[in-house]
A and B are shown apart, each in its own frame.
Chain A
Amino acid sequence: MPAPPAPDPSAPALRAEDVTVRFGGQLVLDRVSLDVPAGTCAALVGESGAGKTTLLRCFNALVVPAEGRVLVGVADVRTLDPVALRRRVGYVPQDGGLLPHWTARRNAGLVPALLGAPRPEADARADAALALVALDPATFGPRYPHQLSGGQRQRVAVARALAAGAGLVLMDEPFGALDAITRADAQAVYADARADRAAAGQPVTALLVTHDLREARRLADQVVVLRAGRVEQAAPFAELVARPATAYVARLLERAALAG
């Protein structure tokens, strides 16, 4: 069996420069700038409608900004073929988005298969990714999504994103639909997987949309607070707490503390 091609070990940095997005006549993102250094994780937080998901989707060309530049590594997204770009970028939606008629193994091996890997190789990559999210490939590989629990499904979705192997993952409230205990487990599995990859010399740059400030604190190196399409503050969580830039940020932190 030929060895799988080594994934590009260099995790690209993500940058947004003065990005403006309009849907219809409505301003969704208003000159938003963002800087996610290679191998780090940034969390996008804010209320529904603040533009978190829209900003995330700029990085895999599902949304095309009206103005500004979006960079993956050094490349402007506009100059890239969207399909080729998406095959280099892992993606985890809130509902997991697993293909219900495919086994966990085939789901996890989706991107390698799209990139032309023969089935045994795609399966090997899938099994490695399943192991990374603490799912035994022999047990869980042949199962269909409806035979998995909600937490297991989300872990398969994370495995699918990591199996793309390009060191870049976009996650849109990946654990938002899980109960508290399952969520904590899934977060731990995800954090461990990222750490394992980094230790193996394959760091992962991640952008995470979440409602949950504690999840942001736990998983992200910096937290970006969005409000009505503008960045209120972008800073590590500790600095956010120590020096909230605006009254809105202070109120958001206060409410999160009250909630639990």
Chain B
Amino acid sequence: MRAEVRRALAFVVVLAGALAWAAARGAAQPRPRAAAPLGARPVVVASKPFGESYVLAELFAQVLEARGYAVVRRPGLGATQVAYAAVRAGAVDVYPEYTGTVLRAVLADSAPARDARDAFARVARQSRARDGVHWLPPLGFENRFALAVTPATARRLRLRTVSDLARVAPGVRGAFSSDFLGRADGLPGLAAAYGLRLAAARPLAPAVKYAALQSGAADVIDAYTTDGLVARYGLVLLDDDRRFFPPYEAAPLASAAFVRDLPGAALTLTELAGRLDEGTMRALNRRQEVDGEPAAAVAADALRALGLADNRVRATPRPARAGWAGYFWSERGAVARRALRHLALAGGALVAACAFGIPLGIWLAARPRVAAVALGGAGAFQSVPGIALLAALVPLVGVGTLPAFLALVLYGLYPVARGTYAGVRDAGAPAAAAALALGMTPGQVLRQVRLPLAAPAVVGGVRTAAVLGVGTATLAAFVGAGGLGETIASGLALADTRLVLAGALPAAALALAVDGLLALVERAVRPPGV
């Protein structure tokens, strides 16, 4: 027993070492140490997964390209924690961020800010000191959180301010993005500040939130003050009369490596400082979110209007009226490309999970006491939500393919090891005992008796891992690894159901196909006579 525990510990140490090595390599890769000459490496420009962030990131990317810098785009990184961690680790050079968001959600600074300038000064000082990241000068507009209602609701309940809402709150149902529900500078803080007690506060994706408000399933939602969708639905924004929300000035947030290695590029981004007012931004958002124009085209027009660049991007707006099928057909090239990438990611991770998981399961089958601990731990690990695991990996290995790949391997390991372990342990135990007694070596027992009889269970585990992997790979988009999740994420961000379906349906079809294929394999490896 003690020897087994020692061996299990040694195994864990080796595995941890391998992961740490992979992490160190991944983190080191995108950052050349020496001071690079102008444009010596591409600038990694990222965004968060919502419409305005896509447009701002395109503005950054195109103005840099116009000045001769190469740019790598990583749109739609999953929410603030992931994007901020990526900039801190140097895996991303720059992305658009908001002062109040980082003050409250990252730095946990809840002191009220006097004004926008005060908030910027504070967040810039603290981010620099704590995390070594730089705030470049603000772009010129704020995008605050706000509560939105339909004009009819506003009239009926006589709502103008959040205080008005607090007065009638017990009869009002809310629907909010999960981000807003969880953040200290979201609903929890707002409710405390105003004594706001809503009848219900349900988490809904942006795509559904607006529809819920229109259909009367909800009375109030959270929105952004520059939201294109607010204009699309003609909503009324309630005034934050107690000044609860801090200033949310938009500005480029840059990594230390970016400012050090490419000071010229950082300087280029300051050309955008103060050039975008709230009205301009709302108009740009409207073109993307309401008219369905691609972010690249919107950004190119904006740069030309500002006299900063003369880019022309062929504008092929998402056809506003085509049905889902027509839309899908028009996008078939992009969908196929992303589906292939999706398969490559999930398939590669599955191969790696098998390479580790099958030997691990065989090894554990001979050590039931170690197996109970190891598989119990792996099972508990399995319950960590995918997005949380990805967020935890970003500071270690950066963004892109690597964290998504690692997360998928870790998720696949358990079903593969578990299936192999159970199969090898249970399949043909009396036959294996007799074969050993008749003079088979342990290796022969494993190869000629246990593994052939366990094969269906092993493939069953691989099948579970494969289906899980194809599903989980949709989250890879949130760390910039692409795949069908990219389509789903932008669909959710732009409240475009067709986009969501154009990602989700192929993903579901892939999962079914993989499941069916492996079911056939499972039958094929079933030995005769069993």
Contact A99 B428 (CB under 8 A): yes
Q: How many Å from the CB of B482 to the closest CB on chain A?
A: 43
For residue B441, CB closer than 8 A to chain A, the reply is yes
Chain A residues with Cβ under 8 A from B448's Cβ?
A: 99
Does A230 belong to the interface (CB within 8 Å)? no
Give the Cβ gap from A93 to chain B, nearest Cβ, in Å.
5
How many pairs of A and B residues are in contact by the CB < 8 Å rule? 75
Q: Is the CB of B434 within 8 A of A98?
A: yes
Interface residues of A in 80-116 (CB under 8 A from B): 83-91, 93, 95-103, 110-111, 114
**B433 A100 Cβ-Cβ under 8 A:** no
Q: Does B279 contact A (CB under 8 A)?
A: no
Measured in the bound complex, the distance between the Cα atoms of B436 and A164 in whole Å is: 14
Residues of B within 8 A of A145 (CB): 529
CB atoms of A101 and B438 under 8 A apart: no
Interface size on B, residues (CB 8 A): 21
Interface string of A56-71 (1 = CB under 8 A from B): 0100101000000000
Name A residues whose Cβ lies closer than 8 Å to a Cβ of B: 57, 60, 62, 83-91, 93, 95-103, 110-111, 114, 144-147, 157, 160-161, 164
Q: A93-B430, A101-B529 are in contact. Are A86 and B437 (CB under 8 A)?
A: yes
- A83 near B441 with CB under 8 A, answer yes
A-B contact pairs, 17 of them (CB 8 A): A60-B437, A62-B437, A87-B438, A88-B439, A93-B434, A97-B431, A97-B433, A97-B437, A98-B434, A99-B449, A101-B529, A102-B529, A110-B435, A110-B438, A114-B439, A114-B444, A146-B530
The majority secondary structure among interface residues of chain B is helix
**A37 nearest CB across to chain B (Å):** 24
10 new A-B contacts at CB < 8 Å, known A97-B433, A99-B448, A110-B438: A57-B437, A91-B437, A93-B430, A93-B437, A96-B430, A97-B434, A99-B434, A101-B452, A114-B439, A146-B529
Q: Which of B428, B434, B441, B530 contacts A91 (CB 8 A)?
A: B434
Q: Which of B428, B430, B438, B449 has the most CB of A within 10 A?
A: B438
Chain A: which residue is nearest B444 at the CB level? A114
Q: Report Cα–Cα, A114/B441, bound state, in Å.
A: 10
Residue on B nearest A91 in the bound complex, by CB: B437
CB contacts (< 8 Å) of B439 on chain A: these are 83-89, 111, 114
Cβ A100 vs Cβ B428 within 8 A = yes
| A101-B528 contact given A93-B430, A95-B430, A114-B440, CB 8 Å threshold | yes
A97 touching B430 in the complex, CB below 8 Å, given contacts A110-B435, A145-B529:
yes
Chain B contact residues, CB within 8 Å of chain A: 428, 430-431, 433-441, 444, 448-449, 452-453, 527-530
Please tell me if the beta carbons of B529 and A100 are within 8 angstroms of each other in the complex: yes
- Determine the residue in chain B with the shortest Cβ distance to A114: B439
Q: Are B438 and A111 in contact (CB under 8 A)?
A: yes
Alpha-carbon distance A84/B467, docked complex (angstroms): 46
Min distance, Cβ A139 to any Cβ of chain B, angstroms: 16
B430 and A101: CB pair below 8 A? no
In the assembled complex, which residues on chain B have CB atoms less than 8 Å from the CB atom of A90? Answer: 438
A239 to B453: give the CA distance in the assembly, Å.
48
Expressed in whole angstroms, the Cα–Cα distance for A202 and B336 within the complex equals 72
Contact (Cβ within 8 A) B453 A100:
yes
Expressed in whole angstroms, the Cα–Cα distance for A89 and B434 within the complex equals 12
**Complex: how many Å from CA A146 to CA B529?**
7
The answer to whether A164 touches B529, judged by C-beta atoms less than 8 angstroms apart, is no
B448 to chain A, nearest CB (A): 8
By beta carbon, the residue of chain B nearest A95 is: B430
**A5 CB to nearest B CB, Å:** 16
Given the known interface contacts A95-B430, A99-B428, A101-B452, the answer about A144 and B438 at a Cβ–Cβ threshold of 8 Å is no
Q: How far is the CA of A58 from the CA of B452 in the complex (A)?
A: 29
Give CA–CA (A114, B528) in the complex, Å: 21
Task: Note all chain A residues with C-beta closer than 8 A to B527.
Answer: 100-101
Report Cα–Cα, A137/B448, bound state, in Å.
23
**Interface core residue of B433, B435, B441, B529 (most chain A CB under 10 Å):** B529
Contacts of B440 in A (CB 8 A): 83, 114
Cα of A136 to Cα of B430 in the assembled complex, Å: 26
How many angstroms between the C-alpha atoms of A87 and B469 in the bound complex?
46
Q: Which 9 A-B pairs have the closest CB atoms?
A: A97-B434, A144-B529, A87-B439, A101-B527, A86-B439, A91-B437, A99-B431, A95-B430, A97-B430
Which residues of B are found within 8 Å of A97, using beta-carbon distances? Answer: 430-431, 433-435, 437
CB–CB B528/A144 < 8 A: yes
Q: Which residues of A contact B433 (CB under 8 A)?
A: 93, 97
Q: What is the minimal beta-carbon distance from A219 to any residue of chain B, in angstroms?
A: 20
Give bound CA distance, A57 to B433, whole Å. Answer: 12
Residues of chain B contacted by A102 (CB below 8 angstroms): 529
Cβ-closest chain B residue relative to A157: B434
Q: Smallest distance from the beta carbon of A214 to chain B beta carbons, Å?
A: 26
Docked complex Cα distance between A93 and B530 (Å): 20
Q: A144-B528, A146-B529 are in contact. Are A100 and B431 (CB under 8 A)?
A: yes
| Bound complex: CA A60 to CA B434 (Å) | 12
Take A144-B528, A144-B529, A146-B529 as given contacts and tell me if A99 and B435 are in contact as well, using a CB distance cutoff of 8 Å: yes
Rounded to whole angstroms, the CA-CA distance of A82 and B210 in the bound complex is 75
Most buried by A among B437, B528, B530: B437
Q: How far is the CB of A25 from chain B (nearest CB, A)?
A: 15
Could you say which residues of chain A place their CB within 8 Å of the CB of B431? Answer: 97-100
Provide the residues of chain A in CB contact with B428, threshold 8 Å: 99-101
Task: Take A97-B430, A97-B433, A100-B431 as given contacts and tell me if A91 and B528 are in contact as well, using a CB distance cutoff of 8 Å.
Answer: no
Q: How far is the CB of A70 from chain B (nearest CB, A)?
A: 15
Which partner residue on chain B sits nearest A87 by CB separation? B439
| Chain B proximity of A109: nearest CB distance (Å) | 11
Chain B residues with CB below 8 A from A60, complex form: 437
The distance from the CB of B452 to the nearest CB of chain A, in whole angstroms, is: 6
A95, B434: Cα distance in complex, Å: 9
Chain B residues within 8 Å of A86, by CB: 436-439
